[in-house]
Amino acid sequence: MRGAVAVAANSMTDQSQSKHAVGSIVAAPFAPSGTVRKQSVVSFRNLLAATLVVVAGIIFWFLFASRSVQLVSIPSTDQVEVQTGLAVQLNDVYLMRPGSYTVTAQAEGYEALQTDIQVSKARTQRIELRLRPKPGLLEIISNPSDVTVRIDDGEAQALKADAAPLRVSPGERRLTFSHPRYQSVTQTLTIAGREQKQQLSVVLPPGWADVAVRSEPAGIGILLDGEETGLKTPASVEAMAGEREIGLVGNGYRSHRQRIFAQAGRAITLPLVELTKADAQLAVSSDPSGAAVTINDEFVGTTPLRIERASGERLRVNILYPGYADQIKSLRLAPNAERQLTVRLERLAGTLAVTAQPADASLSINGATMGSANQTLTLPVESQQITISQPGYASFTTKIQPIPGIKQSLKVKLLTLEEARLAALKPTINVAGHRLKLFQGSTIQLGASRRQPGRRANETLRTAKFKRLFYLAEKEVSNAQFRAFASGQDSGSYRENSLNADEQPVAGISWHDAAAYCNYLSDLEGMDPFYTIEFGKVTATNPEALGYRLPTEAEWAWAARYTPDAEAETAALTFGWGKTLPPPDRFANFADRAAQALVGRVIFGYNDNYAVAAPTGTFAANQNGLFDINGNVAEWTNDFYGIPSSDTVTDGLGPATGDYHVIRGASWMHGTITELRLSFRDYGVDGREDVGFRIARYAE
């Protein structure tokens, strides 16, 4: 081995000596390894590749998540831009992710549009962008030039000869042109819009009649409705349409007046007027002025006035003014006389004696305070507004026309504010065929004594008070009335006995259905609903609303058991007919002998002639004028069911929550002492063959 190594070493030495001096050490230049540079190039390429992958992923994700949306402008325009959000346009299609975007569009002749659009999750969508055309420019040429134009039902605009064109919204427009002296003209014109110019010519027919007036002699001044025209006979006068007065006045001649009826555009030629010479004048004035004057029963004008008459003629002059006594004068005018007649008219008056309660009430007449209301007054013969007032009371106002020579009397008893409030409420109201009566409940006892036969544990004795007045329907809701709300309602039958006739009470409906019907009535009347209903279920009530609702349990009990002046347990009815069984025949619809094959318990020997529900209102009303409040069908009330406490309640709506609602009253299925009592309480939530309802609402 060593020899081999030596040989090799020698060989290398020999080769080296051929180029370098023997025994020298030669430095070789250092070249760094290429490994580091190669790693740097690889890292950059990897980063670039990763970036491209991410970008491609984002693009792929965007393409996958985007929807194809075609934005179509009407009219068509290429000036459509998506202002917010990421949108990629491909020809006339945009790639957009679901969401809200702001889009603008412009077209010549149209208002610039900026609107928000909503891109849904549908793969392809088409959204129309409708641009509103700009108004058109309408030039109006009219005769006369100073007309007034009204476009459709807008404000009237005055036009002049040099007026700028009107800006009018496009579409069919109704233009009405008017002028005080011309007949109105209405034209319909289609406006193109988009600032296009259009021209319309209109000629208004004259609103007057040309009246030809002649006189003998000629040259007499012409008056129209008492005003000088500046014309002299013969001449043509423009008299506006309607009843007019033509007058002729000339010195030395008796004036002439003539009534005519002028029709627009139709000429009138009056007969020749031969004037009578007048050599005297009469001037008439009055206090107050403006009085009408007749001479020999011919109206000649109002004071002050001056007229010419022939001398020697007997004149009967009558001066009249409303509310004043007539003045009649008889006279003759001397030749060439100028006579002045001045009269002071006497005001007519009547007597009014006012008696008022309370005694210290105040009186005002036509807004002027007159002191105590209890007095006798002399009043002018014209309409007088009389007001009687007193703090804490509702004021009373009326109008009286005094009569001359007759003493009138006015007796007034003011109502307190509370009395006036109650008096302002209607005693009955009507809605959709229901008649409701107004009630003010008194303080009552709900429930029953433990000693009462048939009493149940849920009939706790408790006091109920009422502050709010309420309306309660006289009758139960019928099938026909309920079907106006729910046309498919079918109350069905019971053992082949129909419960579905129009006049029978609706049955088989849930408490929520009854509440929905109440809201339906509120909608008919435009009233705030009492119930909030979501997905067919009542989720809340609004006690402040005046909309229709079901009666509260307290309202039902008061209406069934009490009269308005009853406030004691002893005054409450045990049964609808009194305090002992049995009921009188045909008193109400209970389980009678006609129903003995249908129900388990009936009233022995009782007969009402109906096996199941009778038509509403068949039997006599109770002491409060309500029908079937005990019998026929039991009735839903508003209250949640629970075992009540003995606490006093005022305008109580029952427990705030619960699973069931209170049912009150006996039905055609009931015949036991427990069920027939007016204090009987049942409960439920779903429909039943013998349960219906009546409606109620607060009065204020």
Q: Is residue 179 part of a domain?
A: yes
pLDDT category, 203, cuts 50, 70, 90? Answer: very high
343 and 492: one domain? no
Q: Is residue 341 part of a domain?
A: yes
Domain boundary among 106, 130, 154: 130
Contact (CB, 8 A) for 401 and 387: no
The more confident residue out of 505 and 196 is 505
Per-residue pLDDT tens over the stretch 144-177: 888 999 999 888 888 877 778 889 999 999 999 9
Tokens of residue 412, six digits: 């007034």
473 and 618: one domain? yes
Give the pLDDT mean for 448-474: 94
The more confident residue out of 555 and 90 is 555
Q: Is the pLDDT of residue 25 over 90?
A: no
Per-residue pLDDT tens over the stretch 490-525: 999 999 999 999 999 999 999 999 999 999 999 999
332 and 436: one domain? no
For residues 700 and 697, give the distance between their C-alpha atoms in angstroms, rounded to a whole number.
9
Q: Is residue 665 part of a domain?
A: yes
For residues 375 and 361, give the distance between their C-alpha atoms in angstroms, rounded to a whole number.
11
Closest CA to 448 of 579, 550, 624: 579
Closest CA to 504 of 340, 622, 633: 633
Per-residue pLDDT tens over the stretch 123-147: 889 998 999 999 999 989 889 888 9
Q: Is residue 396 part of a domain?
A: yes
pLDDT category, 20, cuts 50, 70, 90? Answer: very low
Per-residue pLDDT tens over the stretch 436-449: 999 998 889 999 99
pLDDT category, 637, cuts 50, 70, 90? Answer: very high
Q: For residue 39, with 0-12 CB atoms within 10 Å meaning exposed, 13-18 middle and 19 or more buried, which class applies?
A: exposed
For residues 522 and 427, give the distance between their C-alpha atoms in angstroms, rounded to a whole number.
19
Q: What is the number of domains present in the chain?
A: 5
387 and 508: one domain? no
629 and 559: one domain? yes
pLDDT category, 565, cuts 50, 70, 90? Answer: low
Closest CA to 413 of 390, 429, 432: 390
Give the pLDDT mean for 220-243: 92
Q: Is the pLDDT of residue 207 over 60?
A: yes
pLDDT for 312 equals 86
198 and 122: one domain? no
For residues 459 and 456, give the distance between their C-alpha atoms in angstroms, rounded to a whole number.
6
CATH number of the domain within which 187 lies: 2.60.40.1120
pTM score, whole prediction: 0.52
Q: Is residue 411 part of a domain?
A: yes
DSSP code at position 121: S
Give the C-alpha distances (Å, rounded to integers) separating 467 from 17, 411, 426, 651, 656: 134, 32, 17, 6, 20
Residue 258 β-bridge partners:
246
Q: Is residue 629 part of a domain?
A: yes
Q: For residue 33, with 0-12 CB atoms within 10 Å meaning exposed, 13-18 middle and 19 or more buried, which class applies?
A: exposed
Q: Which range of residues forms the domain containing residue 166?
A: 136-203
CATH number of the domain within which 79 lies: 2.60.40
366 and 450: one domain? no
Q: Is the pLDDT of residue 9 over 70?
A: no
Domain boundary among 203, 237, 260: 203
pLDDT category, 26, cuts 50, 70, 90? Answer: low
Q: Is residue 99 part of a domain?
A: yes
Q: Is 629 helix (H, G, I), strand (E, B) or coil?
A: coil
Count of beta carbons in the 10 Å neighbourhood of residue 24: 8
pLDDT for 503 equals 98
Gap between the terminal Cα atoms of the chain: 128
Q: Is the dihedral of CA 213, 214, 219, 221 positive or negative?
A: negative
CA triple 146-152-155, angle to 5 deg: 55
126 and 145: one domain? no
409 and 506: one domain? no
pLDDT for 212 equals 95
Closest CA to 489 of 659, 225, 398, 481: 481
For residues 428 and 418, give the distance between their C-alpha atoms in angstroms, rounded to a whole number.
19
pLDDT for 330 equals 93
Per-residue pLDDT tens over the stretch 263-302: 998 999 999 999 888 888 899 999 999 999 999 998 988 9
pLDDT for 572 equals 79
Share of the chain above pLDDT 70, in %: 92
For residues 227 and 218, give the distance between their C-alpha atoms in angstroms, rounded to a whole number.
19
**Arithmetic mean of pLDDT over the chain:** 88
Q: Is the pLDDT of residue 6 over 60?
A: no
Please tell me the least confidently modeled range out of 54-68, 203-217, 351-365.
54-68
For residues 100 and 85, give the distance between their C-alpha atoms in angstroms, rounded to a whole number.
8
pLDDT category, 318, cuts 50, 70, 90? Answer: very high
pLDDT category, 4, cuts 50, 70, 90? Answer: very low
Give the pLDDT mean for 350-365: 94
543 and 407: one domain? no
CATH number of the domain within which 487 lies: 3.90.1580.10
395 and 527: one domain? no
Per-residue pLDDT tens over the stretch 106-125: 998 899 999 998 999 888 89
Please tell me the least confidently modeled range out of 293-302, 336-345, 567-576.
567-576
Give the pLDDT mean for 431-435: 96
Give the pLDDT mean for 520-533: 96
Domain boundary among 203, 220, 243: 203
Q: Is residue 68 part of a domain?
A: yes
75 and 122: one domain? yes
Residue that has been written with the tokens 């259009």 in this structure: 198
Please provide the DSSP assignment of 233-289 as one string. Answer: SSEEEEEESEEEEEEEE-TTB--EEEEEEE-TT--EEPPPEEPPB--EEEEEEEESS
